[in-house]
Amino acid sequence: MSSFLNIVNDNDEIIGVASREDIHHQGLRHREIHVFFITPQNEIIFQHRAKDKDIYPDLLDATVGGHVETGQSYEETALKETEEETGIKLKMSDLIFINKVKGGSKDEVTGKTNNVFNCRYLYIYSGELSALKIEDGKGIGFESWPLDKILNISDSDKNKFIPYVLNLCQTELGKFISKQ
């Protein structure tokens, strides 16, 4: 069953509704969230996407990511997706707001476009990586990477990541984490 998402304009105002499939096929701007888990040792925890995902299959992504479905807020989506994708139930006070950005990217493998407003959050996770529960059919597992390794990543390791997620971790997120 297809989920429906709000189409938004350049001011993040709702101007319509479309299916998730139509959103990515037509490159329509929509809303999504990312929640990045970091450890007290400044390791970023990434979710390894399933090999059959419709966009960016088999690559490392934010710990949690999701589309804001019609009738939901960024905050509600962040909490819902975190519980679904990791098994961790949080409150908004557990999350640190990083920023909201307008951006987009094209998956060169599938040809689909992700044109978004994205709210990004940070969560300091002190548990074991093995305690995180991957959502059935959505991912393969979780990996933690030290921030300094991300900032000095080898060319071969770059290919393991969604390009814009790696770029975010090397720039905005890396700076944000370093200040914590």
Q: What residue type is 11 in one-letter code?
A: N
Instruction: Give the bridge partners for 104, in sequence order.
Output: 115
Q: Is it the case that residue 5 has pLDDT exceeding 90?
A: yes
Tens-place pLDDT, residues 29-53: 999 999 999 999 999 999 999 998 8
CB atoms within 10 A of CB 118: 23
Task: Write phi, then psi, for 173 (nearest 5 degrees).
Answer: -65, -40
Amino acid 28: pLDDT = 95
The CA–CA distances, whole Å, from 95 to 12, 21, 76, 84, 92 equal 22, 29, 12, 16, 5
Query: Residue holding tokens 């059959």?
Result: 52
Write out pLDDT tens, residues 100-123: 999 887 777 777 778 999 999 999
- DSSP-H helix ranges across 44-162: 74-86, 147-151, 155-158
Indicate the helix (H) or strand (E) that contains 6. Answer: strand 4-8
What pTM was estimated for this model as a whole?
0.90
Domains of the chain: 4-179 (3.90.79.10)
Q: Are 82 and 88 in contact (CB under 8 A)?
A: yes
Closest to 23 in 3D by CA, of 67, 76, 53: 67
